[in-house]
């Protein structure tokens, strides 16, 4: 089994994917335990001095002015139970695992003051495959407090958990895995739940998926250029250097690589439609936006974002706003818009390929003609998917309501921004599947098409999964088969 080692820095999107989807084990370097011990000592010393510390000896939110003078450990349990308010469908197991890993990675930075034994219990549950049942609705992006409460409840043996395919009471799931519930010391409950780990973890998975679909989109676009006999002059590196916009040189270079070694056929037109001619700028902007989202995720993944924050070197505990993920939300709104733009271009190319016959291609890509529908009915499905993507592209970062008696009068809606972006990625991948189908059919029907080695490999992979259209047949099943291959890792082009 692979292993991801936490060091308090250097965690990546790839690490999240390895743990959430690949089942990688998680460990921490010895320095992490030492750092946690030091932070805990600072926290206890400052609390002992009588300083007010949010969530340790004070209430939360609108209860900030309420002193907590009774059993501080019991208060942490009460704090967790009282914030178990998330509802809705449970998050998928991979998102839950991603959130658990992200919280472990950020705790390893050492600013929370969490008790080392609670940190160890989180790693043990993750490695044993004991996952809390996490309702999906409850976070407004001012940390994922209510949703994260399910993880804290798991560790104290409350709530429900999934273990080896069964949904069980948390205490039973822990017992079956050979684990025991933990006792919370002062601030431990708050340290577990006051975090944006769901947003960051889900965001990491979305970034990984977006990168995969980006390269699949490049393949589909290159195959479309082959099938339609496009003018490749627009990919000339001199043109990219003349206007080095975000990612444009990289996207053009990738397309040139896919098309390198193609036959010498002359382009069928001086200038192609913009969805083809402007592919490099469109894809380049998308690649840049994915990179910005990745940077935002990895910033959070390696950050001390607790409130309050323990500053070990200074021996201080300060209240912060570091849990507020405005930059992360905006990065995913931007990536969503870039995905929508690229998806719209893919849809436009599908219509160009499957319409009345551009550049000598048969009408509707039907080899029989006449009353044959060919590919044209699929334009409706493409239109439906693009409409769904456009709907999800609408921003949500300003859709918040002041809560907690006005103490929390701003929010970021990061989990919603991430979730809708993830939904867009799935729809976009379906559009890529449709473009691949149509482009492969165009290649098959074209005259004198000599594919480049790169696009030949893409075409062969399409044909490995679906046969050419010779007469009208249900094409929806073909599209589903191709989408499943693109989604599952079976796509080998």
Q: What is the rounded average pLDDT of the residues 377-388?
A: 97
Of the spans 69-73, 209-213, 231-235, 243-247, which averages the highest pLDDT? 209-213
Asked whether the predicted pLDDT for residue 54 surpasses 80, the reply is no
Q: What is the pLDDT of residue 48?
A: 81
Q: What is the pLDDT of residue 180?
A: 97
Q: What is the pLDDT of residue 82?
A: 84
CB atoms within 10 A of CB 376: 16
3-class DSSP string for 116-155: HHHHHHHHHHHHHCCEECCEEECCCEEECHHHHHHHHHHH
Asked whether the predicted pLDDT for residue 445 surpasses 70, the reply is yes
Helix, strand, coil: what percent of the chain each, to 5? Answer: 55, 10, 35
308-351 pLDDT, tens digit each: 899 999 999 888 889 899 999 999 999 999 999 999 999 999 99
Q: What is the pLDDT of residue 78?
A: 82
Could you give the CA distance from residue 326 to residue 302 in angstroms, rounded to a whole number? 16
At residue 331, the 3 state secondary structure works out as helix
CB atoms within 10 A of CB 409: 12
Confidence band for 55, pLDDT divided at 50, 70 and 90: low
* Residue of 489 and 225 predicted with greater confidence: 225
Q: What is the rounded average pLDDT of the residues 180-188?
A: 93
Q: Which regions of 191-336 does DSSP assign to beta strands (E)?
A: 309-311, 316-318
Could you give the CA distance from residue 81 to residue 2 in angstroms, rounded to a whole number? 35
Could you give the CA distance from residue 107 to residue 6 in angstroms, rounded to a whole number? 10
Q: What is the pLDDT of residue 427?
A: 98
* Residue of 152 and 68 predicted with greater confidence: 152
For domain 202-305+332-488, the CATH class is mainly alpha
Q: What is the pLDDT of residue 264?
A: 62
341: nearest Cα among 439, 251, 475: 251
Q: What is the pLDDT of residue 46?
A: 87
Q: What is the rounded average pLDDT of the residues 224-249?
A: 92
* Residue of 359 and 339 predicted with greater confidence: 339
Asked whether the predicted pLDDT for residue 369 surpasses 90, the reply is no
Q: Per-residue b/e over 129-149, b at no fewer than 16 CB within 10 Å?
A: bbbbbbbbebbbbbbbbbbbb
What are the phi and psi torsion angles at 430 (to 5°)? -65, -40
What are the phi and psi torsion angles at 215 (to 5°)? -70, -35
pTM for the complete prediction?
0.95
Q: What is the pLDDT of residue 65?
A: 57
Q: What is the pLDDT of residue 403?
A: 84
DSSP element (H, E) containing 90 = strand 87-90
- Among 81-85, 203-207, 425-429, the minimum mean pLDDT is found in 81-85
DSSP for residue 397: T
Average of per-residue pLDDT values in the chain: 92
**Of the options 1.10.260.40, 1.10.275.10, 3.30.2420.10, 1.10.520.10, the CATH number for the domain spanning 3-195:** 1.10.275.10
Domain boundaries, the chain: 3-195, 202-305+332-488
CA 172 to chain centre: 31
331: nearest Cα among 199, 472, 145: 199
- Among 50-54, 217-221, 243-247, the minimum mean pLDDT is found in 50-54
Q: What is the pLDDT of residue 371?
A: 84
Asked whether the predicted pLDDT for residue 370 surpasses 90, the reply is no
* Residue of 112 and 72 predicted with greater confidence: 112
At residue 309, the 3 state secondary structure works out as strand
DSSP element (H, E) containing 169 = strand 166-169
Confidence band for 106, pLDDT divided at 50, 70 and 90: very high
133-178 pLDDT, tens digit each: 999 999 999 899 999 999 999 999 999 999 999 999 999 999 999 9
**Structure-block tokens of residue 294:** 């990745």
Q: What is the pLDDT of residue 69?
A: 65
At residue 457, the 3 state secondary structure works out as helix
* Residue of 371 and 181 predicted with greater confidence: 181
Confidence band for 59, pLDDT divided at 50, 70 and 90: low
12: nearest Cα among 205, 268, 254, 233: 205
Q: Give Cα separations from 235 to 175, 301, 390, 453 (angstroms).
A: 60, 37, 28, 18
């Amino acid at each position: 089994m692979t292993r991801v080692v936490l060091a308090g820095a250097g965690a990546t999107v790839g690490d999240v994917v390895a743990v959430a989807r690949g089942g990688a084990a998680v460990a921490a370097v010895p320095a992490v335990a030492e750092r946690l011990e030091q932070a805990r000592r600072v926290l206890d010393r400052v609390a002992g001095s009588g300083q007010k510390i949010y969530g340790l000896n004070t209430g939360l939110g609108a209860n900030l002015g309420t002193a907590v003078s009774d059993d501080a450990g019991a208060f942490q349990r009460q704090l967790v139970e009282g914030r178990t308010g998330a509802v809705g469908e449970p998050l998928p197991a991979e998102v839950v695992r991603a959130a658990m890993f992200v919280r472990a990675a950020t705790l390893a930075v050492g600013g929370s003051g969490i008790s080392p034994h609670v940190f160890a219990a989180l790693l043990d549950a993750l490695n044993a495959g004991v996952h809390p049942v996490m309702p999906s609705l409850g976070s407004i992006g001012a940390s994922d407090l209510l949703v994260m409460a399910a993880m804290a409840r798991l560790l104290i043996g409350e709530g429900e958990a999934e273990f080896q395919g069964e949904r069980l009471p948390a205490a039973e799931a822990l017992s079956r895995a050979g684990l025991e519930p933990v006792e919370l010391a002062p601030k431990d409950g708050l340290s577990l739940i006051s975090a944006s780990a769901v947003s960051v973890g889900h965001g990491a998975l979305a970034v990984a998926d977006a990168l995969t679909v980006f390269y699949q989109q490049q393949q589909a676009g290159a195959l479309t250029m082959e099938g339609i006999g496009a003018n490749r002059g627009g990919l000339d590196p001199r043109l990219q250097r003349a206007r080095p916009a975000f990612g444009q040189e990289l996207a053009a270079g990738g397309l040139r690589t896919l098309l390198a070694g193609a036959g010498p056929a002359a382009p069928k037109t001086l200038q192609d439609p913009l969805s083809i001619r402007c592919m490099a700028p469109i894809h380049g902007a998308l690649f840049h936006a994915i990179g910005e989202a990745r940077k935002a995720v990895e910033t959070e993944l390696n950050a001390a974002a607790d409130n309050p924050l323990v500053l070990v070197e200074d021996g201080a505990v300060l209240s912060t706003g570091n849990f507020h993920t405005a930059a992360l939300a905006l990065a995913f709104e931007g990536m969503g818009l870039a995905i929508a733009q690229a998806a719209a271009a893919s849809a436009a190319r599908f219509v160009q390929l499957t319409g009345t016959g551009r550049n000598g291609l048969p009408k509707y890509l039907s080899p029989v003609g006449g009353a044959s529908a060919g590919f044209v009915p699929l334009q409706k499905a493409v239109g439906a998917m693009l409409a769904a993507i456009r709907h999800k592209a609408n921003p949500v970062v300003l859709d918040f309501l002041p809560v907690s008696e006005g103490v929390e009068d701003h929010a970021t809606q990061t989990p919603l921004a991430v979730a809708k972006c993830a939904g867009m990625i799935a729809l976009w991948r379906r559009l890529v599947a449709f473009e691949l189908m149509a482009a492969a059919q165009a290649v098959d029907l074209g005259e004198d098409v000599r594919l480049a080695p790169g696009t030949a490999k893409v075409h062969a992979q399409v044909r490995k999964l679906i046969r050419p259209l010779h007469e009208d047949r249900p094409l929806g099943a073909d599209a589903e088969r191709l989408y499943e291959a693109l989604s599952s890792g079976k796509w080998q082009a």
